Amino acid sequence: MRTPDFLPIEFVIIGGAISGLSAAIALSRVGHKVTVLEVMDTFHDTPMGAGCRIPPNASKLYYRWGMQERLRSASVKSRGILFAQYDDGSVVGSHEWEEEVLEETGGDFLLMHYSDLRRILAESAEEHGATLRGGCQVVSIEPDSKRPYVTLATGEVVTADVVIGADGCHVPPYHCRRIILEALGQEDKETPTGMQLFNVLLPESALNQLDDKELVSQLRQTGKVFTWFGPGYGALGFPVKEPTSGEPLFTLFVYASRADKNMTIANAGREELLESLKGCDPRLMQLAQHAQAIVCIPMVERPFLEDWVHPQGRVMAIGEAAHPIPAGSIYALGMAAGDGAVLGRLFSHLHRKDQIDAFLNAVPEIRAERVERVLRAALGNIFAVSLPPGIAEAHDRALRERAERGIKDLGTTNGGGAGTGQTSEEMMAAIERIFAYDPEDEADNWWVQWGLMQERAARMVVSDAVTVHVNEDLQEESD
């Protein structure tokens, strides 16, 4: 991938979660020197970590980067979705991902514990040569057109050719996002949606406590995501593995209303969870009574950055620092991996430092519209499996009704197939527009269309300058 005149440079990445580690792998594997600064002491254990879903557009990148065996070992492969009414749990539709359809994406839908995903990414980053530093509390970032730097709480100053902010937007102080917002004069508006997500872990043995053995059978179907949906409420249930032992666990994502304006992510008690489930499927309530770990995440709308790169130079935000995505959405991981992939692929072509700014500005040029387009495409499309139907579409009646029609169409099929022509069309739309997309291909397209053209222009300028210089020397000799 590297050219003979490849120029390795120094990157400092703030934030050791999925976005930061994905970028660290992508950059270090092409030859750059990468240091990741993480406020937590370790990369191998994640407080408040719970279940997560990895879409095919992310897993195929991780497979390509050498993590296929480890990811498959630590995860459960998702096979499809069951849709049930939130109030009584009656199953009204289902579908299974067909192998030939998933082959189009190059990856898998994986269900796993967040701590395992982060650990595997950290191990891969170190194997590719990145330096991971835990216990580093960043207090300030100073952009600069040549050597930006980061100051830590200890007083240490860390300099680099480029600073990447992957410190998110959910847990303060998210320095990178804030300094770019301030520099752009963009309002940092945080608007509570009136909803909250409970990310819940419970032992797989809790399923034995359910009286409804048919539901137990459905929940234990290998890799099935069970989705409860209703007006303004919803839940997802799916299997994962315990990080240390590999023993089976069960995850619940419960979406419920929230009156409290507090936007802090925190551990929650079982009573708070049960209170939010009043009026739901009684069997969902039964499951919640066995919750072992509960994290409550207020759902807050935050603006995308108008520009990801600081105007004073060489500090850039990626992941949710640049484009916040609703809590629990499957797209947060996909977009985090995609940002890092584009960054790594572009900088694999670096051979002069004056290319750095062009490559940094190309990342949002490639990615910003893509993120917005994916989120729009997912609305109302039940195969996009982001949030329970009706949650993302709560403020748009037409989209909500479209999602509900899609589920009803599934319910009219035999054998849990793709459904009517309408639902088949929506499944293929989800595959083609969202899950089969390859960000590294998109970066290659940018390089062919624009990067090489800029290179030719730069060479012409250099050539003209040399010619002028030689002509001046000849003129002086003749004089």
pLDDT band at 424 (very low <50, low <70, confident <90, very high): low
User: Higher confidence at residue 176 or residue 92?
Assistant: 176
Average pLDDT over residues 407-433: 51
Average pLDDT over residues 444-450: 94
299-344 pLDDT, tens digit per residue, is: 888 999 999 999 998 999 999 999 998 888 888 899 999 999 999 9
Convert 112-125 to b/e letters by CB count within 10 Å (16 or more is b).
bbbbbbbbbbbbbb
Poorest-pLDDT segment among 141-145, 195-199, 345-349: 195-199
pLDDT of 101? 72
Q: Are 39 and 136 in contact (CB under 8 A)?
A: yes
pLDDT of 12? 98
DSSP E strand boundaries for 143-190: 149-152, 157-159, 162-165
Distance CA(97)–CA(104), nearest Å, equals 11
User: Does position 158 have pLDDT exceeding 50, yes or no?
Assistant: yes
CB atoms within 10 A of CB 274: 14
User: Does position 115 have pLDDT exceeding 90, yes or no?
Assistant: yes
- Which tokens hold the place of 353? 């430092």
pLDDT band at 213 (very low <50, low <70, confident <90, very high): confident
pLDDT of 463? 47
Q: Which residues pair with 249 in a beta bridge?
A: 203, 240
User: Does position 287 have pLDDT exceeding 60, yes or no?
Assistant: yes
361-375 pLDDT, tens digit per residue, is: 999 999 998 888 877
User: Does position 472 have pLDDT exceeding 80, yes or no?
Assistant: no
CA 209 to chain centre: 34
Q: Are 218 and 225 in contact (CB under 8 A)?
A: no
Spell out the alpha helix ranges (H) of 128-156: none
User: Higher confidence at residue 299 or residue 348?
Assistant: 348
What percent of the chain is modeled with pLDDT above 70? 82
pLDDT band at 466 (very low <50, low <70, confident <90, very high): very low
Q: Which residues pair with 229 in a beta bridge?
A: 85, 234
Distance CA(171)–CA(266), nearest Å, equals 10
User: Does position 107 have pLDDT exceeding 70, yes or no?
Assistant: yes
Average pLDDT over residues 429-443: 81
Poorest-pLDDT segment among 149-158, 284-293, 356-365, 432-441: 432-441
pLDDT of 214? 80
User: Does position 258 have pLDDT exceeding 60, yes or no?
Assistant: yes
Q: Which of 316, 301, 363 lies closest to 170, judged by CA?
A: 301
State phi, psi for 76 to the nearest 5 degrees: -115, 130
pLDDT band at 414 (very low <50, low <70, confident <90, very high): very low
Average pLDDT over residues 115-125: 96
Spell out the alpha helix ranges (H) of 417-451: 421-430, 439-446
Contacts from 260-267 at CB under 8 Å and sequence distance 24+? 260/298, 261/192, 262/298, 263/190, 263/192, 263/298, 263/300, 264/298, 265/48, 265/170, 265/171, 265/295, 265/296, 265/297, 265/298, 266/295, 266/296, 267/48, 267/293, 267/294, 267/295, 267/296
Poorest-pLDDT segment among 50-54, 139-143, 320-324: 50-54
pLDDT band at 415 (very low <50, low <70, confident <90, very high): very low
User: Does position 453 have pLDDT exceeding 60, yes or no?
Assistant: yes
- Residue 397's H or E segment, with its range, is helix 397-411
Q: Which domains does the chain have, with CATH numbers?
A: 10-75+112-190+304-402+424-442 (3.50.50.60), 191-301 (3.30.9.60)
pLDDT of 269? 93
Q: Which of 399, 362, 408 lies closest to 381, judged by CA?
A: 399
Average pLDDT over residues 274-286: 89
pLDDT of 420? 43
Poorest-pLDDT segment among 11-20, 185-194, 361-370: 185-194
pTM of the entire structure? 0.88
Average pLDDT over residues 333-357: 95
Spell out the alpha helix ranges (H) of 195-330: 213-219, 270-276, 282-288
Q: Are 18 and 26 in contact (CB under 8 A)?
A: no
- Which tokens hold the place of 358? 């062009």
Distance CA(69)–CA(279), nearest Å, equals 42
pLDDT band at 393 (very low <50, low <70, confident <90, very high): very low
Distance CA(460)–CA(303), nearest Å, equals 41
- How high does pLDDT run on average in the chain? 84
The sign one gets for the Cα dihedral 447, 453, 456, 462 is negative
What percent of the chain is modeled with pLDDT above 90? 50
Distance CA(474)–CA(468), nearest Å, equals 10
Average pLDDT over residues 394-405: 54
pLDDT of 474? 46
Average pLDDT over residues 21-27: 98
**186 φ/ψ sector (left φ>0, alpha ψ -120 to 50, else beta):** beta
Poorest-pLDDT segment among 22-26, 163-167, 368-372, 459-463: 459-463
pLDDT of 322? 96
Length in residues, the chain: 479
